Every structure is written in structure tokens, then in C-alpha cells.
Chain A
Amino acid sequence: MTASILTVDDSPSIRVALKIALTNAGYSVAEAVNGAEGIEKAKASAFDLIITDLNMPVMDGLTMIEEMRRMPDQMGVPIVFLTTESDEGFKARAKAAGATGWLTKPFDPDQLVRVAKKVLGR
């Protein structure tokens, strides 16, 4: 079965990049532009993996992860956040909030797919 991935990022270019790389790797991809929309989409359908940016308007990634981990349905759903090498503080906070892993920006498609496979186990 195709694993389904939700990407949450306010940057259209990152969303496009994620979608292309993940689709090419055989995953099905849904998109949200901020944390609030991410939660709405995750409520509406179950995803095997959520990839999210941290800095976003309306609701940032950190808040989204915290909220999701409080939702019984989202328990155990892997959430990978995108981060830059420079924000170690964010990394620690995101992990504390319940993130599964991270992907350091900039990344190329191989790295992205590697992380998706790593977290999904397939």
C-alpha cells in the first residue's frame, strides 16, 4: 500500500520540492500551509507520516506537533520537522514536543526520501 504523507510548509517552493521528490519515490502526498491546516487535514484522513516546517504563520510547527500529540488519533504518527543547521534550540524543543525526527535544510531529494524511508520503515 502506498504510504501517505502530509507536508506542512508555508513556502510554496518547499511544498513543491517535497511533493515532487516524495511522489517520485512512490508516496502519495497531501499538503497544508500551516499547522492549523495540518491538524485539520490529519483529522480528516490518517497519514503515515507528517513532514512539517517549524516557522509558519497562523500556527507554527511546534504548536502543531504539541497539539497533535495530545490527540489520541495522532499518537504514534511519525512527524518529521524541517530545520536549518543553525537552530539547535528548535530541534530540542521540537523533540520535546513529540517530533519523531528531523531533516536538515537544505536537503536534496535523496536525503528526504532516505528520512521518509527511515521513519516509515519502508
Chain B
Amino acid sequence: MSDEAIAVFQVEARENLELIEQGLLDLLDRPEDRDLVDAVFRGLHTLKGSGSMFGFDALAAFTHHCETAFDRVRKGEVAATTDLVSAVLAARDHMRQLMEDPSGDYGAAGDLLLADLERAVQEADGAGPPAVVTPGLTTWRIKFDLPANAFKNGANPLALLAELREMGEARVVADASRVPPLSQIEPTDHYLAWDVTLTTDQDRATIEDVFIFVIDDMNLSIEALDEARLGASPVQAAAVAEPVEPAPAKVAAPVAAPVAVQAAAAVANDPVEASGAKTAKAVESVRVPADRLDELMDRVGELVIAQSRLTQISNSGTDTALRAVSEEIERLSGELRDTMMVLRMVPVATLFGRFRRLVHDLARETGKAIDLSTDGETTEIDKTVIERLADPLVHLIRNAADHGLETAEDRAAAGKPATGRIRLSAHQSGGEVVITIRDDGRGIDRERVRAKAESQGLIEPGAVLSDHDLLQMIFHPGFSTAAAVTNLSGRGVGMDVVKRTIEALRGSIDIASRPGEGSEVSLRIPLTLAIIDGLLVRVGQGRYVIPLGAVEECLELSLDEDLRSRGRSFISLRNSLVPYLRLREMFETGTPPELHQKVVVVSTGTERIGLVVDQIIGDHQTVIKSMSKLHAGLPTFSGATILGDGGVALILDVGHLVAKGQQQEAQMREAI
């Protein structure tokens, strides 16, 4: 099996598992919903089928058991109880493991899960397993003809006869009596008929199944001549039995009754109702591998770069024809880039969907009733951004469930409804998407935050802080207000990591909280990562890009001022001192300071520093290239870009530089 085929399978399997999970979660709310039951069953069935096709045997075998159990729900034999659905949810996670790591040895864990599942099925099954009777031998008289177009359409009567023969002892008599003479025959029409006597242990439905492709348009009569039951006693089927071959979609008539089958209604009780909408939808979209999209993005990026070189060349000459073409190409490549951006956008629904499961698990583990509502799922963000947002959001939702929401008793005491609410919403605002996580819990306890910050030495005891600044404390590294570390949160990852991740996405994070009413964390994320507006600067011989969103203002730094502040690198900016970094020194350019250095003041929302550069070249729209492995370890840079003249500029990581500036400031303070 090729790796590519396996990768394709895994992508589809992941989506399928996602759908199964969503279906199961919905079932918890609406256990009677047949459509949901069918959807989950279909998902399991597909996973089993494609799993075995691609050699994921452990996955196929495990899924088979779940499918069998769920089939009983589908047939209405057992109810979709919470325990049963939860057991299948747990099994789903196991399937995911088997899918991602097919060589792993998870047999024991799988057996435990199946045992749980079986228990849940048995508990859900008041009636007990139905008795299954092994059929004896029956002799059938089967008379049939075929549709007139059978030959033309490739129906092969010999194949049908061969199938009947495989079922048992068959005597086949052809009836050519209806074949007209040559002058009257429609040579490709079918005029033959047969009379077959078959002794078999198969039932009527299985015999009808032989004719499944032509049954709607033919005459078929199946008559039981005798029943030669061979002394087999009825056998009880196990609770989770091997599934019986799916019978054709029609109700089997009682044995020994001759039936002329006109199976127009064959599909009437098909469990899956036709939904034309689904089919129509499938036509509208084409699945493209993500890396191919990235490749296209790269090409577009290179085109934009080449185009800007062309613009430079045409602008420096006097050739108006060249300039006209250049402007046309500039417009086209701009449009192409915009189209490309839209291609990469995916709705946040794909992200939000994952959290329903998380909240379900959190509710079970904390014993709190939690209601998750989501809003603005159709808001779209760059797919790379979506992927990187998952972990921070998981952390924030865990925080809300674990620290934010009170226990049911506390809520009752506070006069709140027993069920805690977490609300996840997204909306677009300009070039940003704002994602908020709001809970109606107890809110952040300022006193505890202050006590903790003081004990950690983050603030002076008794220091006067605004409420906003106090709340910002929770983003400091290592800060955690959880009095007791629970299983869910307060472990390892802190809010500081969340903040860093968001800032790495060139986003910002903010928190608001009202005591007793709840908290709200807002993330502001740029729509796309791949192209940024930057300020192109020069330091020594090298050129660098500063993300424009972080730039507050640019100031002149005279040589005098530079020398005067040699000791402590602060500039005075409207009555406040802003620390600054001399990039020339940091990057060890080995060049002397220029006469008219500039200070670019950048901020991360709360903190700001100045960056001293030799020259500001101008605005520059930049396509970010990820750094080579060689440079990936340099935290000062977040990426690289190719300039219009073919040179390379590194993109400064503002968050990192700001942290560095603050660090320097702290050292200065100590030194004083």
C-alpha cells in the first residue's frame, strides 16, 4: 500500500471520526433522533470498510464490533442510552488511536472498551437478545424471466444461474418458448425464461437478492415446495453477534407462500431517506490536499515578489508601454493573491466542533453541568491559524470549566441556574477575527491574583495597580491561581503559554471579569498568516521587516541623543520612558551608528519598546516564508521574505523583542 493512499485514507478517516463524534454528542441531546443514529452507523460502517480496504485490520476489527452494537440501536432493539453513547464515544477515541498508529499494540485497551460497550448494550436492552433460528434445507421453485433490455445492459443470465447453483442443488430448465422467429425478433432483446428447482439452506430473501439489479423490471416467483428442516435446534445468538448479511430492503414474505415479486417498493423502508441536498453539496466542492494549497500559496508569493521587481524596473525607466503592462500584472497578481487567501480560509466551525466533546468530558469529570453554546461558526480564518488556535482554546475552555464555573451547590447558593454556561463565539472585525470564551462562573478573584502575584514577586506588596493590570498578571509565566491542581487544568501549560501562542499568530489576548458574574477572554487574530504588511528597515547592511500591526510610531534618534543615553537605553516618549534595543548591536553588524538613526516603537498591546534601526525603507507587503531549519532556532525572527530585488529580509518577532527589552529594563533597574 502506498504511503499516499494511506495518507488519503487517514485524512478521510479523521473526518469520519469527527462526524461520528459530532453525531454521538448530538445523540446525547436527542437520543430518539433516527437520522443521527443512522449517520453514526454509516460513519462506523464506512470506517470499518475503508479500514479493512487499506490494511488497518485492527481498526476494522474493532470498529466492526462497535458497528454491530450500534446496529442494534439502529434497528430499534436497544435505546441510545447515555451510557451506551458514552461507551461508543470512548471507543471512537480508540479507533482514532488505531487509525493514527496502526502498528501500536492496543489490544487490551480495546477489549476493555468493548466489554464496557457490551455492558452498556445489555443494560440498554431490556428485552434480551432475540432468538435466531438456523434454517434447514428448503426446496424452492424459482421461475423468472428478465427485462427486455437485459442483454443490452450487460445483465448476464448465466451469472444469475451460477449464483443460484452456488446456493445448493439446482436443476435449471430454460424456456425459449417466447423467442420469436428471426423476422420478428428484436435481436438484442431478451426473450428467455427459466424454471429452476433449488434445494438450499438459504432463505427467500437471499434468493431474491440474486436478482437485485433487475428485480424491479422482471417477473420472479419463488415458491417453497417443501421444508426439509434438518433437526437443528434453535440457537441463541450472543448479545453481540456477528451481523447477519444485510437482507435486501424488503420485508421477507412468510415461508411457503408463493410470491410474485414486483419490487417497486423495494426501497420503501430503506433506513436512509433520500437527501438530494447532500448530493448537490458534494458537487460544489473539490477536496485538495493541504500541501498542494501551500505549494500554490508559495507560487503566488513568488509571483507577487517577481511582480514587485518588475514594478521597480518599469518605474525606473521611461517605457510607458512597459509600465502599463507592469501595472496590469500588479493588479492581476493582487487579485490572484486575494483569491488565494480566500481559498485558505476555513470556517471556525471545524474548530468549535471539537470542543463539544471536550466540554462533555469536562462535565463528566468535574461533575458540573455545563452547557456549551457557540456562535459565529461560519466566520472564516486561515487554516494554519485554525490549527494553531486549537491548543490555546482547549486551555481556555478547561480553565472556564474548572476554575470559572462553580459547583452546582455554589451556583444554587449564588442564585444562579445549576447549569453553567460557556459561550464560544467568533466574529470578523476588519482584518481580524475576534474569538471570545465567556463563562457565567464566579469570575476572577482579584485578591487571590494579587496575593499570588505578590508571593511570586511579580509585584511589590501593596503596589497600586489598575484592575486591568492586575488581571494581566495571570498571563505571567508560571502564574496559576488554582488552589488545588485538578486533573483537568493547572498542569504544565499556563496562561502565559496561551498568550505566547496567540502572539506568535500576531494576535492579542485580553481578559475581562466581573466577580460573581463570570469572565471573558478575547482573542484577536489576524485573518491570515501568510501575508503581512510590514515596515522594511535597514540595520547595517541587512534589511528586516517589522510587522506593521505592531508599529506604533517612528522617531528620529539623533547621534547626540544616542550618545547621551548610552548608559541606559531609554527614550522619553510623551512623558514615559520607553526602553529600546539597538538592533545594530544585537545583530553585531560591525558598522558604526549612522547620523540619522530611527527608533521604531513597537508594542504587543501592553508592553512597548523602541527598536533602533539605521534606515526606514518603507511599507512592504510581505509573503512570509518559514525559516529554514538552520535558522528556525533563532527566536528573534519569525520568518523570512524575499524582496523585490531578490534579496532576503528577516521578519522580526516583535513579541520576543519586547520581552527582551523588558528584561533589559529590569536589569537596568537592578543596576541603578
> Within 8 Å by CB, do A and B touch in the complex?
yes
Determine if A20 is an interface residue (Cβ-Cβ < 8 Å).
yes
Interface size for chain B: under 10, 10 to 19, 20 to 34, or 35 or more residues? 35 or more
**Other-chain residue from B50, B274, B283 in contact with A88 (beta carbon distance below 8 A):** B274
Interface string of A87-111 (1 = CB under 8 A from B): 1111000010011111000111101
Cα of A87 to Cα of B279 in the assembled complex, Å? 8
Residues of the B chain whose Cβ atoms lie less than 8 Å from the Cβ of A120: 156, 159
Given contacts A12-B8, A13-B8, A13-B12, contact A76 B154 (CB under 8 A): yes
Q: How far is the CB of A122 from chain B (nearest CB, A)?
A: 8
Residues of the B chain whose Cβ atoms lie less than 8 Å from the Cβ of A35: none
Interface string of A1-17 (1 = CB under 8 A from B): 00000000001110011
Determine if A55 is an interface residue (Cβ-Cβ < 8 Å).
yes
Closest to B162 in A: A121
Residues of the A chain whose Cβ atoms lie less than 8 Å from the Cβ of B271: 85
Q: How far is the CB of A42 from chain B (nearest CB, A)?
A: 12
Chain A contact residues: helix, strand, loop or mixed: mixed
Given contacts A87-B279, A106-B46, contact A78 B53 (CB under 8 A): no
* B8 and A16 contact, CB distance less than 8 A: yes
Given contacts A108-B49, A109-B53, contact A87 B274 (CB under 8 A): yes
* B154 and A86 contact, CB distance less than 8 A: no
Select the residue from A13, A69, A119 with max chain B CB neighbours within 10 A: A13
Determine if B194 is an interface residue (Cβ-Cβ < 8 Å).
no
Residues of the B chain whose Cβ atoms lie less than 8 Å from the Cβ of A55: 279, 282-283
Closest to A54 in B: B279
* B272 and A75 contact, CB distance less than 8 A: no
Closest to B278 in A: A86
Determine if A59 is an interface residue (Cβ-Cβ < 8 Å).
no
* B5 and A88 contact, CB distance less than 8 A: no
Interface string of B164-191 (1 = CB under 8 A from A): 0000000000000000000000001000
* A108 and B48 contact, CB distance less than 8 A: yes
Cα of A97 to Cα of B119 in the assembled complex, Å? 50
Given contacts A13-B12, A88-B274, A118-B163, contact A76 B152 (CB under 8 A): yes
Determine if A79 is an interface residue (Cβ-Cβ < 8 Å).
yes
* A121 and B282 contact, CB distance less than 8 A: no
**Other-chain residue from A86, A98, A101, A118 in contact with B149 (beta carbon distance below 8 A):** A98
Determine if B213 is an interface residue (Cβ-Cβ < 8 Å).
yes
Query: Which residues 270-290 of B sit at the A interface, judged by CB distance below 8 A?
Result: 270-276, 278-279, 282-283, 287
* A88 and B270 contact, CB distance less than 8 A: yes
* A86 and B45 contact, CB distance less than 8 A: no
* B274 and A100 contact, CB distance less than 8 A: no
**Other-chain residue from A89, A98, A102, A118 in contact with B159 (beta carbon distance below 8 A):** A118
Q: How far is the CB of B202 from chain A (nearest CB, A)?
A: 15
* B276 and A121 contact, CB distance less than 8 A: no
Determine if A84 is an interface residue (Cβ-Cβ < 8 Å).
yes
Q: How far is the CB of B295 from chain A (nearest CB, A)?
A: 17
Cα of A85 to Cα of B45 in the assembled complex, Å? 13
Residues of the A chain whose Cβ atoms lie less than 8 Å from the Cβ of B49: 106-109, 111
Q: How far is the CB of B425 from chain A (nearest CB, A)?
A: 33
* B152 and A17 contact, CB distance less than 8 A: no
* A85 and B272 contact, CB distance less than 8 A: yes
Determine if B151 is an interface residue (Cβ-Cβ < 8 Å).
yes
Given contacts A13-B8, A108-B53, contact A99 B272 (CB under 8 A): no
Residues of the B chain whose Cβ atoms lie less than 8 Å from the Cβ of A111: 49
Residues of the B chain whose Cβ atoms lie less than 8 Å from the Cβ of A108: 48-50, 52-53
Residues of the A chain whose Cβ atoms lie less than 8 Å from the Cβ of B451: none
* B156 and A86 contact, CB distance less than 8 A: no
Q: How far is the CB of A55 from chain B (nearest CB, A)?
A: 6
Closest to B60 in A: A108
* A119 and B152 contact, CB distance less than 8 A: no
Determine if A21 is an interface residue (Cβ-Cβ < 8 Å).
yes
Residues of the B chain whose Cβ atoms lie less than 8 Å from the Cβ of A119: 154, 156, 159, 213
Closest to A56 in B: B283
Closest 8 CB pairs of A and B: A121-B159, A78-B154, A108-B49, A101-B213, A106-B46, A100-B154, A85-B272, A13-B8
- 20 CB-based A-B contacts, threshold 8 Å: A13-B5, A17-B50, A20-B5, A21-B53, A55-B279, A76-B188, A78-B156, A85-B270, A85-B271, A86-B279, A87-B274, A87-B276, A87-B279, A88-B274, A98-B149, A99-B153, A106-B45, A108-B48, A109-B49, A109-B53
